Structure 1
């Protein structure tokens, strides 16, 4: 393999193990020769993981490639630690060829260390030693002369110089523990470098297991133990919208919930408040988790209304504390405060809620806090957890280089941060709506009576960071409540509901049975009512508004032949739109409807026999029904599921933010159905 290919293989292997490093954390590099694009002569090059990349999924496009002679020449012009941020711009002048990723702040570390291959990682075991109060002594006890200690310094050019100096002073060392941060290892070959990284990580793990105390977080506090799983998840589903609403005070957030053993155990222990207040330490951690979490100080047996009231009090105090933290450390040139809401909320007996601009960011924040819990456990088991000072955390959280990275990110999509529930989403209009909402940035719960179809749609959309499937019979209140609870557990709550589930039985009045009438009204009238009711409860708890959209029908206002049960049920839905728009507007919840007609292709209703019956009514072959419907419209165009989906997006995407109680026809123009 070539040098870059070896580097990619090593990076992917290291990044695939969460014990080795966290998502998008750490970086790897390799040095070798490559042709100069002008002269054709070989020059020394450095391939290093670029800014923002992830080791586990790294590809060649994620590597920055620099000329080593130019990079090393920066030592002679380095203006000192006070101006070291200027060196990041200088890295751009060391780049080799075109393309590639932007060099990260850790590039100097990789270029200045005298080894062909270098790994910088954030393993829990390594950070546990790095954050222990007597980290230098523990590092020597654990590794002897094989691994050296480097005092805390913010990542940058000076840290690269420090590590290079320690390496020169310890020629037999295979790597270093970076105080308050992580580890760096090196080797003459890619295989040797990876072996040294794993040796440091596994040796630290074994040392902590052998030397550490059994209960580093103290005794279990009576009454704070984890609830049984069913009770725990029910409590989490009830609290999630409230917590998400609080965490979205400054900017709408998507939530993630975890009740892993590490979190539940930490939340039940005596030292919870003390250690949580100290915050995380590894720079990658608190950039995602904020300087510290919000911790509920009540047992899970506390009545729900009292718990909610206490969470609101704690949230107000958290915001005041965060603002004070910002004001304590901000300098005249510091970036403005980005928001004072917590990114992590710990609830004893229930678990942890974490938040971010999208599901992946929220999930990763939670994963990082689990890493932090593991770090605290390790440090406390052999010493005392002593993270870097708060002032240093602020310097990284509000680092201009981090601010520049945020400015480079693409603008959010219109529905970013929104959580949607679409019923009848396993096919036809519902499937198209789910796909469109996800494409516009929303997280979607794909609900359908057919579990296999719901699963296929969710997987096709992109899986659990974008969509989750649920089986739901909308006529069953318990199943509807479970679907809304699934949205709360998967994404933190609910912002947008599309009442699409439906069916139709085309018969004349005399042929329509009571069973036909009851079935259609149960699914569409009763089902929409149940879904809207459950969704509104969650939206009100969140306190950040929302949207409810009914997929009604042209038949809600048009008297077509042989269609009494379906038309009456759709008329019921249409009036629910008006009634609920009037009732829920005070909560910032908008309720609108879409009236499609003639959606034949891809329609679950038409495939279920409705198409054949309607074709018989109109005296045309079933395969020509779509074309027949098109010809009777003013625009002479066939209506497709994606046209209905576009109307749903138009109503919810932000441009019609002051519109409620509206019905939008998507029928290619049926004059008899014009709203009067």
Structure 2
């Protein structure tokens, strides 16, 4: 294998095991010789994981490639630790060729350490030693002289010089423990480097187990034990919209819920409060989790109304505390405060709620806090947890280089941060709406009576960071509430609901049975009411507004033949739009409707017999029904599911923020369906 191929293989192997490093954490490098395409002479290069990549999924495009002679020459122009940030821009003048990733802050460490292969990782076991109060002594006890302790220093050029000097002074060493941060290992070959990294990680793991105490977090506090799973998840679903609304005070966020054993155990212990207050230590952790979490100081068995009231007060206190933290450490050239809401909320007996700009960011924040819990457990097992000072955390959180990285992020999509629930989304119009909302940045819950169809649509959208499938019967109150709860547990809350579930039976009045009438009204009129009621409750609790959209029909205003049950149910839906718009406006919830004409292509309704029935009514072959509908319109065009989806996006994408109680016709122009 080539040198880059060896590096990719090693990186992927290390990154595949969460015991070795966290998501997007750490970096790896390799040095090698290649022919300079300009001079034909040999050139020594450094391949190093670039900024923002993940070791487990790293590919060659995620590497930065630099000329080692130029990188090492930077030592001669290094202006000192007070100006070390300037060296990051200098890395650009060391790049070899075009393309690749931007060099990260750790590039100097990889280039200056005299070893062909270098790994810098954030394993929980290594950080536990790095954050122990007597970490230097414990490192000596654990590793002897095979691993050397390095005092905390913010990542940068000087840290690279420090580690290079330690390597030179300790030829017997295979790596270092970086105080408050993580580990660095090296080797003459890629395999030797990997084995040295694993030796440090696994040796630290064994040391913490063999040397550690049995209850590092102290005793279980009575009443703070985990609730039974059913009760726990019911309470989580009840609290999720409120917590997400609080966490969205400065900027709308998406949520993630975690009730793993590690989290629930930590929340039940007597050291929960003091340890949580100390905050996380590793920069990769607190950049995602914030300097400390919000901790509810009530047992899981406390009355729900008491927990809600306490959450509101604790959130206000948290914002005051974060603002004070910013003001204590900010200087004239610090970036503006980014937001005072928590990224992590811990509720004893229930679990952890984590938040971020999208689902992946929220999920990763939760994963990082689990890493932090593991670190605190390890440190407390052999010593006491002593993270880096608050002032150092601020220097990293509000680092000019970190701010520049945030500014380089792409502009969010129109529905980024929005959480949608679409009923009847397994096929036809509902599927098209779900796909469009997801494409515009929303997280989408795909609800359908057909579980397999819902799963297919969700899979078409992507991972569970973007879509989840929910089996739901909209005629059943309990099933509807379960669908809303599943949405809030998946993504933290609910912002956008599309009442699309429907069916139709085309019969003359005298042939329409009671069952025909009841079925269509149960699914469309009652179903929309149940979904809107349950969804509006969650939106009101969030306190950040929302959208409810009804997929009604031109038949809500147009009297077509042999269609009494369907047309009446659609008219019911249409008036629900007006009624709910009037009622929910005070909560910032907009309610609008879309009135399509017959959508034949991809329609589950038409494929289920409605198409044949309507074709018979109009005296045309079923396969020509779409063309027939098109010819009776002013525009002579067929209406497709994507056209209805576009109308839903128009109503919810941000341009019609002052519009509520509106019905948009999507019928290519049916004069009889004009609204009056």
Q: TM-score, normalised by structure 2?
A: 1.00
After TM superposition, list the pairs within 5 Å mapping 1:257-656 onto structure 2.
Answer: 257-656=257-656
User: What is the distance in 2 between the residues matched to 1:118 and 1:612?
Assistant: 68
User: Which aligned pairs between 1:131-280 and structure 2 lie closer than 5 A?
Assistant: 131-280=131-280
> 1:37 offset after TM fit, Å?
3.0
Give secondary structure in 2 for the equivalent of 1:341.
Answer: coil
Map Cα deviations across residues 165-224 of structure 1 (whole Å, 9 max, x no partner): 111111010000000000000001101100000010000000000000110000000000
Q: Distance in 2 between matches of 1:38 and 1:361?
A: 43
1:33 Cα offset (Å):
1.0
Distance 1:389 1:40 in 2: 51
Cα deviation code 1:236-295 (max 9, x no counterpart): 000000000000000000000000011100000000000000000000000000000000
Asked whether the 8 Å contact 1:597–1:666 carries over to 2, the reply is: yes
In structure 1, stretches of 5+ residues that fail to align are none
Q: Deviations over 1:77-97 (max 9, x none)?
A: 000000000000000000000
Contact 1:254–1:357 (CA under 8 A) maintained in structure 2: yes
Q: Aligned Cα RMSD in Å?
A: 0.4
| CA distance in 1: counterparts of 2:38 and 2:332, whole angstroms | 45
CA distance in 2, matches of 1:184, 1:498: 51
For 1:40 and 1:556, locate their aligned partners in 2 and report how far apart those are by CA, in whole Å.
76
Between the aligned partners of 1:37 and 1:601, the Cα distance in structure 2 is: 56
Query: Is the Cα–Cα contact under 8 Å of residues 26 and 55 in structure 1 kept in the other structure?
Result: yes
CA distances 1:557-606 after superposition (whole Å, capped 9, x unpaired): 00000000000000000000000000000000000000001200000100
Counterpart CA distance in 1 for 2:179 and 2:17 is: 23
**Shift in Å, 1:7:** 0.5
User: Deviation above 6 Å: which 4+ runs of structure 1?
Assistant: none
Q: CA deviation at 1:34?
A: 1.7
Distance in 2 of aligned mates of 1:76 and 1:189: 28
Check the 8 A contact 1:335/1:400 in 2, yes or no: yes
Matches of 2:463 and 2:32 in 1, distance apart? Answer: 39
Which whole-Å CA distance do the structure 1 matches of 2:520 and 2:13 have between them?
Answer: 55
Distance of 1:456 and 1:524 partners within structure 2? 23
Aligned match of 2:85: 85
Contact kept in structure 2, 1:37 and 1:97, CA below 8 Å: no
In structure 1, C-alpha distance between the alignment counterparts of 2:625 and 2:398, rounded to whole Å:
61
Deviation at 1:463, TM superposition (A): 1.8
Q: Determine the structure 1 residue equivalent to 2:63.
A: 63
Q: Distance in 1 between matches of 2:53 and 2:118?
A: 16
SS in 2 for 1:510: helix
Contact 1:517–1:565 under 8 Å retained in 2 = yes
Encode CA deviations 1:456-490: one digit per residue, 9 max, x unaligned. 11111012000000000000010000000001110
- Pair 1:666 & 2:670 matched: no
* TM-score normalised by L of structure 1: 1.00
In 2, distance between residues paired with 1:301 and 1:28? 47
In structure 2, runs of 5+ residues without a counterpart are none
**Hey, what's the Cα distance between the residues in 2 that align with 1:543 and 1:172?**
60
Instruction: Tell me the distance in 1 between the aligned counterparts of 2:656 and 2:506.
Output: 35
Distance 1:534 1:17 in 2: 41
